[in-house]
A and B are shown apart, each in its own frame.
Chain A
Amino acid sequence: MTTVSSLDSGAVAPVSARESLFARLKKNRLSLFGGVLVLLAVFMAISAPFLPLQDPDAVDASSRLAPIGAPGHLLGTDELGRDILSRMFWGGRITLLVSIAATLIAMIAGTFLGLVSGYFLGWTDTVISRGIDVLMAFPYFLLALTVIAILGPGLLNGMLAIALVNVPFFARIIRGSTLSLREADYVLAAKGMGAGHSRILFRHILLNSLPTLVVATTINLGFMITAAAALSFLGLGVQPPTSDWGTMLASGRQYLSSAPHTSYLPGLAIFLTVLGFNLLGDGLRDALDPRMRD
């Protein structure tokens, strides 16, 4: 409740919407910390090709499972003598790329389905909503496994699997906001002025659902990273020689007693990145769309 009142007072302050959003976010230290974690992960992903890192796939049998701080290997090496620091950068790139791409696919498909079913209602809504119900009848991770079973393991298929699993999440949220926005005065006015369905849907309803969508996407990214890493961990996502944080963690597991850093370093990277997105998502939700709280 306090969030709503602080939001109300923020709305009357003489600042632009963007400034007030940033100001609101800045006040929330935890979400600021989350933003820093996210930026760090994104920096790792983008900068990998430009940094003087060793070849992430270069095998060196003479320095297998070197500890953290070993000469020439700041974070040590894995079971094949590959430099962990470099693999953390390149692996993070794959993890983030797969998660972001899957989120975008789920967001676009889910938003479209949610808009169409919430706007047209009738049989369109019935068909889409029942389809979503069937998808939601599957336990979250089981549906991803089912898709992998059909398409076969792999990076692209893993990405499609976790995207499909998250379509209902976006479809439900956007259907809800479409249902309330379709009766808004400005939508009725646009209808009265002769605007077509696509103009109303994309120009009026979608644009006004954007805050909800931004919050939902940020929160969803944390799930996506965990799901993508989990699939790789099980050997069903990214396949060798390509590796992401999930595969690094899985292969490091064999050496838990002799070289635990080979698994806890990528695990820590996944944890901090997901934590970052969750903290940022919480902050954005409080600032943009407090109704979505819990």
Chain B
Amino acid sequence: MRNYLLKRLAQTIPVLFGISILVFSMLHLAPGDPADLLLGPDATPEAVEDLREDMGLNRPLIVQYGAWAGRIVQGDFGRSVVLNRAVLPEVMKRFKNTLILTAGALAFAVVFGIGIGILAAKFHQTVFDSAAMLVALAGISMPTFFTGIAAILIFAMGFQVLPSSGMYPARGGDFFDLMRHLLMPAVTLGAVSAAILARITRSAMLEVIQQDFIRTARAKGVSEDKVVWIHALRNASITIVTVLGMQIGYLLGGSVITEAVFSWPGLGQMMVRAIQARDYPTVQGGVLIIAMSFVFINLAVDLIYAWLDPRIRYS
């Protein structure tokens, strides 16, 4: 396992390097002078010239990249053009909210997606199975922003049981208030992932259930519940975990849209505003933080995968 961990850690280095190159290049690929872009339209020519000198824009790109990467490693992500504050603390504050939303969506997707998938496999070719798969297909086709708006129409405006926006009431609130505010955005964001997980879990379980060791377990008199929930699920979990890892990336990226629908004060909303205002340091900081966390989440998923399936760590 240690060798696998080291090998897998080594593999993340070129990916992190690639991400940093892409994020660094954003300023240089965008039309216009990087110093102008960083300081915004109100900057004086002297300030622009000073920044050009500071950033070494007249030096070769590779030197500029080295200096930029050095600053990033020390936590200096630059200053936001719009907020005129250091980028990193702002990004991290918002990222925490995005993680709360993503975690809520993931919890919903795991419980409902995998749960429904297992039940659909258990009750294969029954009305429950067909209905569940039809709902899952509809769930996959439903764009997040439409699900969100439909949810607001029904639960916030129709029944008036849930708040339609924000994280807390205006007067501030406790954990219970947060959960009430989180419910609709989390279900909205997690709906597509839940649908995908339900489909994958069902097909993985059906494939495992046909195998010899399941027949052996049944022949030995193991109870049907134990066969499904322990023997089959453990073996199907390898496929499920792979897809789950991919879904975390979908949720992190997709949170941008959900945050816009429910005015959730997360990183996605901050980035959309930053893109519209051409606030490059904020966009760069946001992209870097999300992409880097995604790389480490993938690493964690792969390690779980290797733990579940010994064949992977010995190959």
Contact = CB atoms under 8 A, between A and B. Distances in A.
Nearest to A231: B257
B145 A142 contact: no
B15 A270 contact: no
Interface in A32-82: none
B280 A149 contact: yes
Interface string B263-300: 00000000110111010100100010011001100100
Contact of A256 (B30, B153, B249, B254): B153
B276 A253 contact: no
Contact of B22 (A134, A148, A256): A134
Contact of B275 (A148, A270, A271): A148
Given A141-B257, A150-B29, A279-B137, A236 B272 contact: yes
Nearest to A223: B140
Interface string B243-273: 0000001111110110011000000000110
B153 A264 contact: yes
A222 B253 CA distance: 18
A150 B27 CA distance: 7
Contacts of A140: 249-250, 253-254
Contacts of B144: 230
Nearest to B30: A150
A229 to B, nearest CB: 6
B200 interface: yes
A234 interface: yes
Contact of A137 (B15, B260, B276): B15
A218 to B, nearest CB: 13
Contacts of A275: 137-138, 141
A148 B283 CA distance: 11
Contacts of A250: 145
A134 B18 contact: yes
A91 interface: no
A137 B200 CA distance: 22
B260 A142 contact: no
Given A140-B253, A256-B157, A275-B137, A130 B143 contact: no
Contact of A134 (B15, B26, B271): B15
B295 to A, nearest CB: 6
Main secondary structure of the interface of A (DSSP, over half): helix
A226 B139 CA distance: 13
A233 B249 contact: no
Interface in A135-164: 137-143, 145-146, 148-153
Nearest to A269: B146
B260 A222 contact: no
Contacts of B291: 137-139, 142
Given A130-B14, A137-B15, A150 B145 contact: no
Contacts of A278: 137, 140-141
Contacts of A290: none
A265 B314 CA distance: 54
A66 B287 CA distance: 42
Contact of A145 (B22, B149, B250, B256): B256
A109 B169 CA distance: 48
Contact of A234 (B15, B203, B253, B256): B256
Interface core residue of B19, B22, B283 (most chain A CB under 10 Å): B22
B194 to A, nearest CB: 16
A10 interface: no
A249 B260 CA distance: 13
A16 interface: no
Given A142-B290, A236-B276, A278-B137, A267 B146 contact: yes
Contact of B142 (A148, A149, A152, A271): A271
A176 interface: no
Interface in B190-244: 199-200, 203-204, 210
Nearest to A142: B253
Contacts of B81: none
Contacts of B9: none
B31 interface: yes
B276 A153 contact: yes
Contacts of B150: 264, 267
Interface string A95-135: 00000000000000000000000000000000000110110
A294 to B, nearest CB: 5
B253 A263 contact: no
Interface in A181-235: 222, 226, 229-230, 233-235
Interface of B: 14-15, 18-19, 22-23, 26, 29-31, 137-138, 140-146, 149-150, 152-153, 157, 199-200, 203-204, 210, 249-254, 256-257, 260-261, 271-272, 274-276, 278, 280, 283, 287, 290-291, 294-295, 298
21 contacts: A130-B14, A131-B18, A140-B249, A141-B253, A141-B256, A142-B253, A146-B22, A146-B283, A153-B275, A222-B141, A233-B145, A234-B257, A236-B275, A267-B143, A267-B146, A267-B149, A268-B146, A270-B146, A275-B138, A282-B137, A294-B200
Given A134-B14, A234-B260, 13 more contacts: A130-B18, A133-B18, A139-B253, A140-B254, A145-B256, A146-B23, A146-B283, A222-B141, A229-B143, A234-B257, A256-B152, A264-B146, A274-B141
